[in-house]
Structure 1
Amino acid sequence: MTTRLPAVVVGEALVDVIVDRDGPSRSHPGGSPANVALGLGRLGHPVRLATRVGHDDFGHLLQRHLKDSGVELTAGSVVAAATSTATAVLDAAGAARYTFDITWALPKAVEAALIEGPAAHVHTGSIATALSPGAEQVLAALHAVRPSATVSYDPNVRPALLRSPGEERERVERLVALSDVVKASEEDLAWLHPGETPDRTAARWARSGPSLVVLTRGADGAEAYWRHGHRSIAPVPVQVVDTVGAGDAFMAGLVSRLLHAGLLGGGPGTEAETARAALRRATGTDRLPAILDEAVATAARAAALTCAREGADPPTTAELM
């Protein structure tokens, strides 16, 4: 089943200023939720991004970039303010360390449209769910839309913007409990729960609300967890240029395959509960069904393709074939 109602992604769109040790800085459109929206658009899904960007050069860059991949901005997303930035300093292996200049709050028109507008699926995460006052707006919106849309979440924690892990855990786990699908990196869970292995945290999350939790391990592949089992996903070999946007491409690939399979998606009436029930049934045994195995493998390929080129540049459907 492929629904024609849009997937709605809620969260920050910003510009990544990428700094190499051996070269000049470069500017690329980014922001974790915006990257997920971009990935879904390139994979053929109608997608709308509920965000906040400035009416400035960086904002115009973001708008063109998203429009070129079929992403529609929710009306009211462009405001008379500076566009947020993230500076990514790359190490010798191409891994990024971030610092941020960001303001996050949903414009009132965007908040109203998010709650009132129809959506098949809603994805959020990262700074949008952590930085006040916007984080509280996003949480309220998820409560409002969950009866009619399925939900996915990627905490994608940014410690430089956060309080201590102990102060952040309750917020993150409220969002986990609201979600049908959660993706988190090994680094995310090690930071949030320093006294618990990432595997143990992911397995516990899979029993707390979501039907599927995927733990990404970078070059070591991924692990899928559900209420009754666990499955390792082999890594995809790749020559890494940088890792910017790889986790977001993984998220987009995973959501895309689950939407196509009818295991995510909603709309008027009971469609969200139909998809939610189908995903629950699919994760109701100790074996991961082939469709979920294939969805996670597709997500891993999407992440690998993104690692093979500079910046957050997720693949198209043709590239994933």
Structure 2
Amino acid sequence: MIVICGEALFDVFKEHHSETLTTFPLLAVAGGSPFNVAIGLARLNTPVALLTGLSNDFLGQRLKSVLEQEQVNTQYLIPKSAPTTLGFIEHGADGVPHYAFYGNGAADRVLTTRDTQINLASVTALHFGSYTTVTEPTADSFLSLAQSAMGKCLISYDPNIRPTVEPNMDIWRNRFMQFSACANLLKISDEDLNLLYPDADPKQKAQEWLARGVDLVLVTRGSKGVWAFNKEHFVEVATPNITVVDTVGAGDTFQAATLYSLQNIQALTSGSLARLARQDLEDICQFAAKAAAITCTRRGADLPRLKEIIAL
């Protein structure tokens, strides 16, 4: 089973124009990057669980119901008497989302080290990402889990930076170094890479991460395609030509589809990411790019099911 570690929240969208200043119609959708990755894997018929702090409030219980409906394993949901995070989203003219998070002291940010001490015997991979890797105490608790899991299962990491949660890039860089030092698989968008290391050469940074022990680096570049690096190959894959509705959930879809593909070729348990053949890298990236493209054609993080990707 793959265990996804991170936040669970509600994304809140402005629904439509209001006629008065005193009303502001909103649409709340269950989300959060790791939450989405877990659902994405479940929709790809992959055994998956979510490890997160979940509020006892009605919003937290709604999130749990969504996970159960999607057939995500809920055994690692940690109940907390803290509120549920709300992430407000506004789209720019180009469809790119802008976020404002309300979650100080929320359930997904208050996990302790004891909460994250799980039995790894049946776990094939752990995935970490987004703001719960920088907000304490959850960040320290997840880092402790990642460090203890090294060599026992595959570790995946996507920083998925949210400056509206933590604007200090020095904190993100520090956490990035800590989590990437544990990772076998590192997936990062070109936007996040530029936030962490402005004006750096992505190919040079990828080689640095490989030299430090990462086995496979994936750099997603939006409409410009995907770069994949391991110790033997560099692969560039184009993204499908689509009409973008919005990009919410595209990176999460790519992550879920990548983990699905790696499990399909038994790369999660064999430790062979560093030696994946060129054709394997191309197939993995093409499948993930098609999956992400489907998500971009619809509003919100509505991740595709396996039959949809196969049809495309």
- The reply to whether TM is greater than 0.5 is yes
Match of 1:165 among 154, 165, 169: 169
- Counterpart position of 2:283: 294
Task: Give the RMSD, CA atoms, in angstroms.
Answer: 1.9
Tell me whether 1:62 sits opposite 2:63 in the alignment. yes
- Counterpart position of 2:204: 200
The 3 A distance-change label for structure 1 pair 232 and 304 is same
- Counterpart position of 1:110: 115
Aligned residue runs from structure 1 range 1-321, under 5 A = 6-19=1-14, 22=17, 24-102=25-103, 103=106, 104-106=109-111, 110-112=115-117, 114-115=118-119, 118-265=122-269, 275-276=270-271, 278-282=272-276, 288-321=277-310
CA deviation after TM superposition for structure 1 residue 207, in Å: 2.6
Partners of 2:16 and 2:224 lie apart in 1 by 26
- Counterpart position of 1:3: none
Which segments of 5 or more consecutive residues in structure 2 lack a partner in the other structure? Answer: 19-24
* Amino acid of the structure 2 residue aligned with 1:193: Y
TM-score, normalised to structure 1's length?
A: 0.88
The structure with higher relative contact order (CA 8 Å, sep 6+) is 1
Report Cα offsets for 1:240-284 as digits up to 9, x if no partner: 11111110000000010001101113xxxxxxxxx11x22222xx
Partners of 1:216 and 1:20 lie apart in 2 by 29
- Counterpart position of 2:22: none
The 8 Å contact of residues 9 and 85 in structure 2, kept in 1 or not, is answered as yes
Seq. identity, % = 33
The 8 Å contact of residues 20 and 90 in structure 1, kept in 2 or not, is answered as no
The 8 Å contact of residues 17 and 25 in structure 1, kept in 2 or not, is answered as yes
* Amino acid of the structure 2 residue aligned with 1:119: V
* Amino acid of the structure 2 residue aligned with 1:165: M
Partner of 1:311, secondary structure, is coil
The 8 Å contact of residues 165 and 193 in structure 1, kept in 2 or not, is answered as no
CA deviation after TM superposition for structure 1 residue 109, in Å: 5.9
The 3 A distance-change label for structure 1 pair 257 and 55 is same
* Amino acid of the structure 1 residue aligned with 2:282: D
CA deviation after TM superposition for structure 1 residue 167, in Å: 3.9
TM-score, normalised to structure 2's length?
A: 0.90
CA deviation after TM superposition for structure 1 residue 101, in Å: 1.3
Which segments of 5 or more consecutive residues in structure 1 lack a partner in the other structure? Answer: 1-5, 266-274, 283-287
Partners of 2:211 and 2:15 lie apart in 1 by 41
* Amino acid of the structure 2 residue aligned with 1:313: D
The 8 Å contact of residues 231 and 275 in structure 2, kept in 1 or not, is answered as no
The 8 Å contact of residues 56 and 82 in structure 2, kept in 1 or not, is answered as yes
CA deviation after TM superposition for structure 1 residue 107, in Å: 5.3
Partner of 1:98, secondary structure, is strand
CA deviation after TM superposition for structure 1 residue 174, in Å: 2.0
Partner of 2:160, secondary structure, is coil
Partner of 2:116, secondary structure, is helix
CA deviation after TM superposition for structure 1 residue 94, in Å: 1.7
* Amino acid of the structure 1 residue aligned with 2:66: H
The 8 Å contact of residues 115 and 141 in structure 1, kept in 2 or not, is answered as no
Partners of 2:248 and 2:165 lie apart in 1 by 18
Partners of 1:87 and 1:264 lie apart in 2 by 35
The 8 Å contact of residues 245 and 298 in structure 2, kept in 1 or not, is answered as yes
- Counterpart position of 1:270: none
* Amino acid of the structure 1 residue aligned with 2:95: G
The 3 A distance-change label for structure 1 pair 22 and 201 is farther
The 8 Å contact of residues 232 and 274 in structure 2, kept in 1 or not, is answered as no
Report Cα offsets for 1:80-121 as digits up to 9, x if no partner: 221111111111222101111123022566323x25563111
The 8 Å contact of residues 74 and 110 in structure 1, kept in 2 or not, is answered as no
